[in-house]
Amino acid sequence: MSESDIGLWAVPIAMLGGAIRVSTPFIFVSLGECITERSGRINLGLEGTLVFGAMSGYAIAYETSSAWLGVLGAAFFGALFGLFHGWICKLPKVNDIAIGIALMLLGMGLAFFFGKPYIQPVAPDLPALSFGFWSDVPQVQAALQVNVLFILGLVLAVAIAWMFKSTKIGLTIRVVGDSSDAARALGISANKVRLFSTAAGGALAGVGGAYLSLYYPGSWNEGISSGQGLMAVALVIFARWNPINCIWAALLFGAAGALGPALQSVGVSSGYYLFYAAPYVLTLLLLIATSSTTRALNGAPGELSISK
Amino acid sequence: MKKQPAIGVETLHMTMRFGNFTALDDVSINITPGSFHALLGENGAGKSTLVKCMMGFYQPTEGQMMVQGHEVSIPDPKAAHAHGLGMVYQHFTLVPSLTAAENLVIAREDAPHRIDWKKERKALDAFMATMPFNVPLDQPVNRLAAGEKQKLELLKQLYLGRHFLILDEPTSVLTPDEATELLGMVRDLTQSGALTCLMITHKFREVTAFADEVSILRRGKHVGGGKVSDLTTDEMAALMIGDKSFARKADRSGVRGDCVLSVQNAVAPDRSGLKSIQIDDLKVAAGEVVGIAGISGNGQMELLETLTGQRPLQSGTVTVKSEPFHATRSEARNQKVRYVPEEPLHNANAPKMSVLNNLMFRNFDNKADGFGLWLNKRKMASRAADLVDAFNVKMASLESPIASLSGGNVQRATLARELSDEVDLLIISNPCFGLDFSAVADIRARIMAARNSGAAVLLISEDLDEILELSDRVLVMSEGRISYETPIETADIGVIGGHMAGHA
């Protein structure tokens, strides 16, 4: 028995690695969406922001030879998209969901347009830390190659949870998200808070996109996103608008997403495409299992256009 | 509480026009520092407009505001707060998903950027210790009952150290004891010179028992007022209502019939999902009003929801005229069960749809009633017009959205719909919450009329006066159970109050 032959253990290990690798963009986009939705807006345009972030991050990293500058650039452009969304939505009689869909298509279109020249060149990758040094098994070592952004995402989730609970900014966002009337009574400008919350959400989605093009899969092409931006919106609902839960939800999603490739690697090839649908099936099942007709949807911001 | 002197506020010739409509007409009121001033008036008399002008929500068309004898401009509520003016609104302004503690802290102008919860909790606990009642600080506000929310609203203003407080019908959700306690505390604060209070109210008892001075508005005009000790209740009522006749309370007539509603051993989870309500035996017979008294949040809402099919029973049965009842549309129609839940604008109507459509919700598709597959607009309109006339609903047109009606007229319209056909069981909750004097009399007369014509009426209300006025039997609900029952003849307020408070 060779060292790399670990039989069926390969499946959970690959899923662990997959969870960490695949979940990172989910973490960033869902944390961003979490901030935006807590302020009472839904930004469905994050899919477009993510793709544009992937493109701009890759392009900037290539031009400057610095992956981190790429990440910053992606965050900057993401924030611009967020500001744009927030600015349009404060106009009267504008629906945030419709604007989100328009911006999603706009973001993707712009990314494909500006991104054409960057499909060939190779940009520097983001660094990863090896937490698998204690093991001789290459699969374990591969699984525990953890990107710095993943760790940053974990820290960010804790920071955002703390912000919502113990800072004035966090409470202000929750006030605005829960009741415009109450916000007005407190003298808070709801539009301004939502504008910046949407901008912050966009910036985080941009970082999520940069992760895609700069680390995993690690190149820029037009099919780089498989709907992470949209799935993150569902993730936030599933996580009940709680940043810490967003992490667990993203990890679960990542692990379920890695199920297909992991099974394939140990030779299970039938029903291959079905396993790729695992995250979506899982989401549906969990949402049904945790729903209730008699209890209110805990944590849903009252001003959200879907809960009104 | 800071012991700063109370603030005096004066309005001078305040006029507010909305287009052609004059909501406020040259109103000058002087509220002296440290006084407890009552503002009386019917719905639509301009009380809300006046206080909204004072708080900076509206800019008056003409007129000035004086604070402490100096003319001030109040462009927005923030400016009003800066002058020490605060308001407890009729509609709650608390943030539902934040806890009580979070609501209090974020409301402060000087809320710190980083909130040290340990320190804040200590300060809050110290503050709460000086208050005559308590509110659970760690519960999200949406888990609190209406009464607790009202208390928290008041606590918030006091916590913010406001020295001129406008209370918009502060006691409408409180029990008599709580109301007395609350207003007594406010009066103590005014007498000690820490606070000036302007209270909007409909209840004469509160005016005579607590207020020093009173101003009365009618149709936007200041029609009178002065020291409460110089005025009788009749004089105040005459000023407030003008020359108008009331619907008289219908006398009791008819005989008690067979049992219509029967709830046996019903168990259902409550809102929090942590506790449950349990109704062992509740019967309502034809031709009687059974009133369920209780402090809000003791399971009345859940009881209503089980009866309206919004909350599934874990066990037990609900029967209407010996047939099982699950509150489906066809069952409600066949067994002639009708509902008027509390806050009917949101719980019984589609606010943005027209009065006409809202009035016809029960009938528009009823074949037995002569309606068919297609909407018969003409027939609907003539029906709705009849109902509007019969129930005296005031509105601009049948096509206006029902949300544009005043509270009393929404309630009249809802009753018109629910009582339009023969009714065997009427389930009704807090029908007069927030309504003015003449609307209250009108609505109660309608309920009595339904009873006298043989309907079984289950009345759930937090207003004990209402229960005592209308009921044939009084039940008290406490902690999810019916803890006391008495016929109206032997009802004693002290005993009922004790059971409401949960200690008897």
Q: With contacts defined as CB-CB under 8 Å, which chain B residues touch A184?
A: 77
Residue found by looking up tokens 């109050």 in the block: B497
- Do B33 and B163 fall within a single domain? yes
B117–A contact, CB cutoff 8 A: yes
pLDDT over 70 (residue B272): no
CB B292 within 8 A of CB B463: no
Burial of B230 (C-beta count, 10 Å sphere; 0-12/13-18/19+) = exposed
Report the alpha-carbon distance of residue A122 to residue A63 in Å, rounded: 10
Mean pLDDT of B208-220: 89
Nearest to B242 by CA among B275, B268, B220, B267: B220
pLDDT for residue B418 is more than 60: yes
Distance CA A20, CA A251 (A): 7
Contact call for A187 and B112, based on CB within 8 A:
no
Interatomic CA distance for residues B44 and A240, integer angstroms: 42
- Taking an 8 Å cut-off on Cβ atoms, the answer to whether A175 and B106 are in contact is yes
Q: How many CB pairs under 8 A join A and B?
A: 66
Which of B97, B113, B271 faces A299 most closely, judged by CB atoms? B97
B96·A175 Cβ contact <8 A: no
One-letter amino acid for residue A99 of the chain? I
Q: What would the two tokens of residue A212 be?
A: 């895609």
Q: What pLDDT is recorded for position B248?
A: 46
| Domain count for chain B | 3
- In 3D, which of A206, A252, A271 has the Cα closest to residue A58? A206
B228 found inside a domain: yes
Name the minimum distance, in Å, from the CA of B54 to any CA of chain A: 14
Statement to judge: residues B401 and B460 lie in one domain: no
DSSP-assigned letter for residue B81: H
Q: What is the pLDDT of residues A167-196, one digit of tens each?
A: 999 999 999 998 888 888 777 889 999 999
Same domain for B322 and B377?
A: no
Residue where a domain stops, chosen among B241, B275, B291:
B241
Q: Which of B385, B406, B421 is the last residue of a domain?
A: B421
Q: Does residue B179 share a domain with residue B34?
A: yes
CA distance B81 to chain A (A): 10
Torsional sign, CA A201, A206, A207, A208: positive
Q: How many CB atoms lie within 10 A of CB A263?
A: 21
Could you report the per-residue pLDDT of B19-67, keeping only the tens digit for each?
777 888 999 999 999 999 999 877 667 888 899 899 888 889 999 999 9
For the domain made up of A3-307, the CATH class stated in words is mainly alpha
**Mean pLDDT to the nearest integer, B482-499:** 84
Look at residue B279 and tell me whether its pLDDT is greater than 60.
yes
Same domain (yes/no): B277, B303:
yes
* Closest alpha carbon to B213 in B86, B41, B30: B30
- The CATH number given to whatever domain includes residue B24 is 3.40.50.300
Q: How many helices (H) and strands (E) does chain A have?
A: 13, 2
pLDDT, residue B501, reads: 66
Q: Which has more confidence, B305 or B436? A: B305
B462 three-state secondary structure: coil
- The SS3 assignment for B406 reads coil
Closest residue, chain B, to A296 (C-alpha):
B271
Q: How confident is the model at residue B3 (pLDDT cuts 50, 70, 90)?
A: very low
String of DSSP letters for A140-188? HHHHTEEEHHHHHHHHHHHHHHHHHHHBHHHHHHHHHHH-HHHHHHTT-
- For B55, name the nearest residue in chain A, comparing CA atoms only: A185
User: Whole-structure pTM over 0.90, yes or no?
Assistant: no
Q: Could you say which of B194, B218, B241 is where a domain stops?
A: B241
Percent of chain B topping pLDDT 70 = 92
pLDDT greater than 60 at residue B426: yes
pLDDT at res. B2: 42
- Minimal Cα–Cα distance from A167 to chain B, Å? 4
Whether residues B311 and A182 touch (CB distance < 8 A) is answered with no
* B100 shares a domain with B230: yes
In a domain, B216, yes or no: yes
Nearest Cβ partner for A302 among B76, B97, B112 = B97
> B467 and B326 share a domain?
yes
Going by C-beta distance under 8 Å and a sequence separation of 6 or more, which residues neighbour residue B212?
B35, B36, B37, B190, B227, B228
Would B1 be classed as within a structural domain? Answer: no
**At residue B117, what is the residue type?**
W
- Residues B353 and B323 reside in one and the same domain: no
Tell how far CA A292 is from the center of its chain: 27
Cβ-Cβ contacts under 8 Å, A185 against chain B? 77, 89, 93
What is the tens place of the pLDDT at every residue in A206-227?
Answer: 999 999 999 988 889 888 888 8
Chain A residues touching B114 at Cβ < 8 A? 166-168
Phi, psi angle pair for B326, to nearest 5°: -120, 10
- Note whether B313 and B274 are same-domain residues: yes
Of A230, A296, A262, A252, the closest CA to residue A44 belongs to A230
Separation between Cα atoms, residue B288 and residue B254, nearest integer Å: 9
Total residues found in chain A within this entry: 308
Q: What is the DSSP letter of A273?
A: H
Among A175, A181, A184, select the one facing B98 at the smallest CB separation. A175
**Higher confidence at residue B92 or residue B9?**
B9
Residue B351 belongs to domain spanning: 346-421
Q: Determine the Cα–Cα distance for residues B318 and B316; give it in Å rounded to an integer.
A: 7
Q: Are residues B23 and B103 in the same domain?
A: yes
Q: What residues form DSSP beta bridges with B16?
A: B24
- Shared domain for B314 and B355, answered yes or no, is no
Q: Where are the domains of chain A?
A: 3-307
List CB contacts (< 8 A) between A290 and chain B: none
What is the average pLDDT value for chain B, to the nearest integer?
85
What pLDDT was estimated at residue A17?
85
pLDDT at residue B90 in the model = 64
Decide if B95 and A179 are in contact by the 8 Å CB cutoff: yes
A171/B106 CB distance under 8 A: yes
From A167, A182, A295, residue closest to B94, measured CB to CB:
A182
B 260-299 residues inside an 8 A Cβ radius of A: 269, 271, 273
pLDDT digits (tens, 9 = 90+) for B104-123: 998 887 888 899 999 999 99
Q: What is the mean pLDDT of each run of 10 residues along chain A (308 residues)?
A: 63 85 92 94 93 95 93 96 94 89 94 91 86 82 87 95 93 91 83 95 95 90 86 85 92 84 78 78 79 64 72
Of all residues in chain A, the one with the smallest CA distance to B306 is A294
Q: What confidence tier does B240 reach under pLDDT thresholds 50, 70, 90?
A: confident
Specify the range with the lowest mean pLDDT, choosing from A276-285, A292-301, B164-173, B451-460: A292-301
pLDDT at B133 (0 to 100)? 67
> What interhelical angle do B176-191 and B146-159 show, nearest 10?
10
- Determine the Cα angle at B120 with ends B117 and B125, to 5°: 120
Q: With contact defined as beta carbons under 8 Å apart, do B409 and B394 qualify?
A: yes
- Per-residue pLDDT, B136: 87
Closest Cβ opposite residue B112 in set A165, A168, A184: A168
B248 belongs to a structural domain: no
- Whether residues B133 and B18 share a domain: the answer is yes
Percent of chain B with pLDDT over 90: 34
Token output for A298:
């805990």
Could you tell me the pLDDT band of residue B307, with boundaries at 50, 70 and 90? very high
Amino acid, res. A159? A
Residues of chain A neighbouring B117 (CB-CB closer than 8 A): 165-166
Contact between residue B66 and residue B50 where contact means Cβ atoms under 8 Å apart? no
| Of B181, B233, B162, nearest in space to B202 by CA | B233
B107 neighbourhood in chain A, CB within 8 Å: 186
